[in-house]
Amino acid sequence: MNALRESAERPSKKGTVIQLAGELNNTRVAALVENGFEQSELLEPKKALEAAGARVDVVSPCQGKVKGWQHTDWGQEVTVDVGLDSASPDNYDALLLPGGVMNPDKLRANPKAVQFVRAFVSSGRPIAAICHGPWTLIEAGGVKGRTLTSWPSLQTDLKNAGAKWVDQEVATDNGLVTSRKPDDIPAFNKKMIEEFAEGRHDRNKSDRLAGTTK
């Protein structure tokens, strides 16, 4: 597996951090999707990651092509780079979970997809999920004790799974980045790149923090 390189950042004159192109060089990202993924929630983050130097593979149970959803109708087809049956989580540094209602609803019912996601959760590799994407994280045991956001209709499911749900454009918790909807994509992309550049996070840290709040 290609290791995440250290983030290429430099301070501005005012001391703020400016993201540099190429900070995700040598980083491989898996974008796990099924038919019905929200088109903008795959294509726009994918474009941002690639602009930062990452290689993004579309991983899917579908063969050849996977079809997106755009607002209220079917969208464009996207080439599947790696079939889920042959995909190994060990080949990737980070995971992207786009939303759309049909997409995560199918993935969370697919044992191989859940196992794939669980490998990132258990290893502390960064994960970015938007809109309905956290549905699959629930099945993979990735939300208990974590602070995250999502499409509002998921908040009860997430709370019941032990998550702290917040209503904000982006939430970050120890390598887990979440957002609510397509309008949040600019903020989502920024935080996603930051967390992916940091690499693996200590999952036990989140568990310990969750334990102190019980």
Residues belonging to the active site: 131-132
Q: Which residues of 80-94 are buried (b: 16+ CB within 10 A; e: fewer)?
A: bebebeebebeebbb
129: CB partners within 8 A, 6+ apart: 96, 97, 99, 136, 137, 148, 150, 176, 177, 178
Instruction: Give how far Cα 148 sits from Cα of 18, 134, 173, 183, 198, Å.
Output: 25, 9, 7, 17, 19
Q: Which parts of the chain are beta strand (E)?
A: 9-11, 17-19, 28-32, 37-38, 55-60, 65-70, 73-79, 82-83, 94-97, 127-130, 147-148, 164-165, 171-173, 176-179
In this structure, the strands spanning 65-70 and 82-83 are unpaired
